[in-house]
Amino acid sequence: MNEVKKFFADAFRHLGNNRPVPEIEVRFYPYAGLHHTIRVMRSSDLARRRRGRKLISSAQGEAYNLDKMFTKLNKRYFDARLAKATLTWSQRRTRNILGHHDRVYDTITVSKTLDSLEVPEWFVEFILYHEMLHIKHPARLINGRRYYHTSAFRQDERRFPYYSDAQKWLERVARQRRVPRARAA
Ligand SMILES: [Zn+2]
């Protein structure tokens, strides 16, 4: 982790026109065995955390309401059997991760970048549907590795009527944001 901090500091000094290197916190998130994410928190986020303000905002966005969407998807695809999770729009504008389910806090976070009428409702629903599948399919531990997207998970995911359109939209998002890949985590 300290190497990451050092790398960040070096890069910042190189690019930052002699501005002081901001304080950062580095955390390592192991994901699904294959994907590992390193997140760098900015000092503004650290300050917010110190003040004790939660990062949870609200399910009601400007364009879409995640609570209503959850209820609708729950009825349509899960026989209304999923326990309600806490739903929230992300505060930070993540570039390539559009949704995330946190089992510990039973929270689903959807990227704020999708809270816009320019984003079709079925695409936001697809991201939320993916996260809801994480409630239905808990991660499986196989030989000490945690698998989140099991074959049963992927099978269910493909049942979503707009599945292939959603894949195309994900590619489009990645192109627009100049990232290799956009996805629901
Ligand atoms: Zn996932």
Work out whether strand 107-110 and strand 86-89 pair parallel, antiparallel, or are unpaired.
parallel
Of 150 and 18, more confident:
150
* Cα separation, 182 vs 133, whole angstroms: 18
Average pLDDT, the chain: 83
Of 162 and 25, more confident:
162
DSSP states of 54-79 as a string?
Answer: -S---SB-SS-BHHHHHHHHHHHHHT
* Cα separation, 119 vs 126, whole angstroms: 12
Give per-residue pLDDT as tens, 71-105.
Answer: 999 999 999 999 999 999 997 777 789 999 999 99
Kindly give the distance from the C-alpha atom of residue 131 to the centroid of ligand 1, in angstroms, as a whole number. 6
What amino acid occupies position 119?
Answer: V
pLDDT at 154 over 80: yes
Kindly give the distance from the C-alpha atom of residue 16 to the centroid of ligand 1, in angstroms, as a whole number. 35
Kindly give the distance from the C-alpha atom of residue 97 to the centroid of ligand 1, in angstroms, as a whole number. 10
Kindly give the distance from the C-alpha atom of residue 164 to the centroid of ligand 1, in angstroms, as a whole number. 16
Location of each CATH 3.30.2010.10 domain in the chain: 55-184
Kindly give the distance from the C-alpha atom of residue 10 to the centroid of ligand 1, in angstroms, as a whole number. 33
**55-184: CATH superfamily:** Metalloproteases ("zincins"), catalytic domain (3.30.2010.10)
What amino acid occupies position 11?
Answer: A
Kindly give the distance from the C-alpha atom of residue 11 to the centroid of ligand 1, in angstroms, as a whole number. 31
User: 10: pLDDT confidence band, cut at 50, 70 and 90?
Assistant: low
pLDDT at 165 over 90: yes
Kindly give the distance from the C-alpha atom of residue 35 to the centroid of ligand 1, in angstroms, as a whole number. 11
pTM exceeding the 0.75 threshold for the entire prediction: no
Distant-in-sequence, close-in-space partners of 46: CB < 8 Å, separation ≥ 6: 23, 24, 25
Kindly give the distance from the C-alpha atom of residue 124 to the centroid of ligand 1, in angstroms, as a whole number. 14
